[in-house]
Amino acid sequence: MADEGMEKTGTTFRQSLAIQRRVIWALLMREVITRFGRENLGVLWLILEPMMFTLGVTALWSAAGMTHGSSMPIVAFAITGYSSVLMWRNTVGRCNSGIHQNLNLLYHRNVKVIDVFVTRIVLEMAGATASFIVLAVFFTAIEWIQPPDDLLKVIGGWLMLAWFGAALAVLVGAATAYSEIVDRIWHPTAYLLFPLSGAAFMVDWLPKAGQEVVLLLPMVHGVELIRDGYFGTRVHTHYDMAYMGLVNLVLTLAGLCVLRDAGLRAEAH
């Protein structure tokens, strides 16, 4: 009988998983075409956009001598730093408008707010990751930077930043369901967090008191781990992945709780 409208009462976990995968795939295709269109470079912009940002920042920082006289290779410093900012700042930015822009999709019973968030997070992270890899490979190939000292550490730091970015995006994005003020506050917060996030400095350059303060910010630990992996013994890094993991876990739980309630409150048009 007519059962393709599906979601009868009592869907098994496996069926739910299949539905969710299908919905997220559909949303991904929709989002890609909506954001980047089919004309000219299309989906390539997903990578080119963060690449342009990172290249611009790399050029600026090189010109400004941001490494403060240390022996740090500036191009690698800028690429590792700015790419990691994209992981948490852009994901949150995209999720903040997520509920509002997609309310009408909730008329399709299988589409939930979490699907919209997952789609946007995946897309942002795919773009930032691809941009990071392309730039790193390119500059390594033309021998402006050396290959990473320990690739596993770079990947580990990147994944921790991804987890942090995703958890924060869900929490802040879901909170926008309660009030637009959340989004308004997010913009200055993100702007102010950027210089503190460890992207534009090494913790080791700071005085002891300053180190203790910035190490309260979880993303600093991720960036430091990436730099440890990239530069190895050439730099002295400070990080505590257990601390970052704990903060991520708390953010994730808080995010999922707020999201659950936000999903119940969402009002379609």
The Cα–Cα gap between 259 and 265 comes to 10
Nearest-Å Rg of the Cα atoms of the chain is 20
CB 164 within 8 A of CB 88: yes
CB of 2 to another protein, least distance (A): 4
260 part of the interface to another protein, by CB under 8 A:
no
Contact between 7 and another protein by CB under 8 A: the answer reads yes
Report the residue number, 3 or 143, with the smaller CB distance to another protein.
3
Q: Select from 30, 100, 236, 260 the one that contacts another protein (CB under 8 A).
A: 30
The distance between the two most distant Cα atoms of the chain, rounded to a whole number of Å, is 73
Residue selected from 57, 78, 111, 167 as contacting another protein according to rule CB under 8 A: 111
Amino acid at 103: L
Window contacting another protein (CB under 8 A); options: 17-25, 65-73, 90-98, 233-241:
17-25
* Minimum distance of another protein from residue 128's CB (angstroms): 23
Residue 147 interacts with another protein (CB under 8 A)?
no
* Options 17, 22, 180, 184; binder of another protein; rule CB under 8 A: 22
DSSP-derived secondary structure letter, 148: P
- How is 203-223 classified by DSSP, letter by letter? GGGS-HHHHHHHTTSHHHHHH
Binding flag, residue 9, another protein (CB under 8 A): yes
Nearer to another protein by Cβ, of 97 and 104: the residue is: 104
Contacting another protein (CB under 8 A), which of 42, 43, 110, 245? 110
Dihedral over Cα of 209, 241, 50, 173: its sign: negative
Cα–Cα distance between 41 and 27 in angstroms, integer? 20
Applying CB under 8 A, the site for another protein has a residue count of: 33
What is the nearest approach in angstroms of another protein to the Cβ of residue 31? 9
What the block records as the tokens of 121 is: 């997070």
In whole angstroms, give the CA distance from residue 48 to residue 131: 7
| Minimum distance from residue 264 beta carbon to another protein (Å) | 5
Q: What is the 3-state secondary structure of 82-96? A: HHHHHHHHHHHHHHH
The residue ranges that bind another protein (CB under 8 A) are 1-9, 18-19, 22-23, 25-26, 29-30, 33-34, 37, 104-111, 264, 266-269
